[in-house]
Amino acid sequence: MKKYKGYLIDLDGTMYRGNEPIEAAREFVNHLHNKKIPYVFVTNNSSRTQEDISLKLNNMGVPSTPEQVVNSSAATAIYLNGLKKGASCYVIGEEGLQVALEDEGLLITEEDNCDFVVMGIDRNVTYEKYTKACLAIRKGATFIATNNDKAIPTERGLLPGNGALVSVVTVSTGAKPIIIGKPESIIMEAALSKLVLNKEDIAMIGDNYDTDICAGINAGMDTIMVFTGVTSVEELPDLKIKPTYHVSSLQEWMEFI
């Protein structure tokens, strides 16, 4: 087993399910912290701010700072600001996404003649919100999605993810969004920039093959799949490109650090 100098770590399904910590997750990150091995949390969750996510982790006994969190809302805001400073955005999403966009100086608008339609998870989504998004895209707005996750692992089970919401707009307009989150490169580049290490010395850890593991594979990194969330161990034989390593729990990986 290879010893890595740094880790990118998923959250939902890897560190916790909803508000329920996953067994051995706290011990694993504390082990990294005590050994001074750098780590960054990479999440497709756009509903919370980096500060809120860090606070949630610390309350679970997982050492974290906001600077160690790269979420899809922050990555989206940085990306859009790079395309057009002060751009106008019609937003379907929760506080984390709206705060991130405003912090980058982007304008949130209810008008349909905007530059971008930005979609993140919105647990209060309505037909009217979908309507405004579709009208704006038909008028020429560029369609952006924080992530395309089909499902979110929670203490209740797998709930509809942002990809399920995005599909409504895609079906209606025929427009495919630019995806910011895993498995795409935009969020991974933002996360890797926080670890001053060569990619071959970093492993991506996650529970979701289609997002976490494929993100690592696409980025040319080694990957460690943990079967505590979306992808089950029964699916492993059918995966076209296998993760570099797989474990049933992060407890198993601690002995290789």
Please list the pLDDT of the chain residue by residue as tens digits (257 residues). Answer: 899 999 999 999 999 998 899 989 999 999 999 999 999 999 999 999 999 999 999 999 999 999 999 999 999 999 999 999 999 999 999 999 999 999 999 999 999 899 999 999 999 999 999 999 999 999 999 999 999 989 888 888 889 999 999 999 999 999 999 999 999 999 999 999 999 899 999 999 999 999 999 999 999 999 999 999 989 999 999 999 999 999 999 999 998 89
**d(C-alpha 226, C-alpha 233), whole Å:** 9
CATH topology of domain 6-72+182-254: Rossmann fold (3.40.50)
85-179 CATH pick, 3.40.630.30, 3.40.190.10, 3.40.50.300, 3.40.50.1000: 3.40.50.1000
* Known catalytic membership, residue 207: no
Catalytic hit among 12, 207, 210, 212: 12
Q: What is the DSSP letter of 147?
A: -
Specify the pLDDT at position 153.
Answer: 80
* Known catalytic membership, residue 122: no
Do the domains spanning 6-72+182-254 and 85-179 agree at the CATH topology level?
A: yes
Q: Give the pair of three-digit tokens for residue 232.
A: 């089950």
**d(C-alpha 166, C-alpha 174), whole Å:** 11
Task: Tell the residue number behind the tokens 């001053």, with chain if given.
Answer: 196
> CA 61 → CA 10, 26, 139, 250, distances in Å?
16, 6, 48, 16
Specify the pLDDT at position 243.
Answer: 98
Specify the pLDDT at position 18.
Answer: 86
Catalytic hit among 10, 112, 115, 212: 10
**d(C-alpha 10, C-alpha 69), whole Å:** 10
Q: Is the peptide bond before 153 cis (omega within 30 degrees of 0)?
A: no
Can you give the residue ranges of every domain in the chain? 6-72+182-254, 85-179
Indicate if the alpha-carbon torsion angle 238, 243, 246, 249 is positive or negative: negative
